[in-house]
Amino acid sequence: MYLVERRTKDESKFKFVTDMAKFAPALLEKAEAVEWWGTSFQDPGPDFNEFRLFDAAGKLIGTHFVDGY
């Protein structure tokens, strides 16, 4: 799995990435950063994306998995 993007709340792509993961609005209010991780075609096993939300202290506050690309 590879880091595709990491965005903070003040960056323009933050909303784009969090919209793909469909996080709850209440959780997004607490979020200060989002990471988008994904598999590669060369990786063994099924393909998927994982989205991770972090608060201001850097604590993981939410994850969301999406099968495929």
Instruction: Report domain extents, the chain.
Output: 2-67
Reference 33, options 45, 51, 48, 49; nearest CA is 51
Model-level pTM? 0.83
**Mean pLDDT value across residues 9-18:** 83
pLDDT of residue 15: 82
CB 64 within 8 A of CB 28: no
Quick check: 8 pLDDT over 70? Answer: yes
CB 37 within 8 A of CB 49: yes
pLDDT of residue 12: 77
